[in-house]
Amino acid sequence: GFLNEIECEFFQQFIKVSGIGPRAAVKAISKPISEITQAIHQGDTASLKTLPGIGLQRAKEIVAKLQDKVGKYGLIQDAVLPEIPADAVPDWQNEALDVLLQLQYKKPEAQAMIQRALERNEKIHSAQELLNEIYKQKVSG
């Protein structure tokens, strides 16, 4: 899944490069698209070679095919999370939040679910316990 239509368009452009199919593209797009775009725009084959499955020849092909076509993709704002002190939230709460986000809950909704679960049961000390409590809340309404 792509975060937005622009990322999908970038993927479509990327697979037009000779030797890069959908599977190879998914594997190669391991860095933020804005970083990949910058490397392509600048002809930086060394950076492109750090992508999984991309060697020097393929990096040169990517630059040749896409250098003049990737400008707008460089404008993608990579998700930047606000800086929270490491000791502010226990790791297991962040782990539970990550799981909820992967399950397509919006961040504010997921945070509220976690808060309600912790208010209902103060004895929670792991992501598993927290997710179980959230599930109980959902089921009981």
Q: What is the pLDDT of residues 2-22, one digit of tens each?
A: 667 888 889 999 999 999 999
Checking phi first, is residue 83 left (phi over 0); if not, alpha (psi -120 to 50) or beta?
A: beta
Long-range contacts of 50-53 (CB under 8 A, 24+ apart): 52/27, 52/28, 53/24, 53/27, 53/28
Give residue 80's region: left, alpha or beta (phi > 0; psi -120 to 50): beta
Per-residue pLDDT tens digits for 81-113: 444 454 567 788 988 998 888 888 889 898 999
5-75 is a CATH 1.10.150.20 domain: yes
pTM above 0.85, yes or no: no
Alpha-carbon span 6 to 103, nearest angstrom: 22
Section 28-33 average pLDDT: 87
Give the pLDDT score at 66: 95
Higher pLDDT, 62 or 68: 62
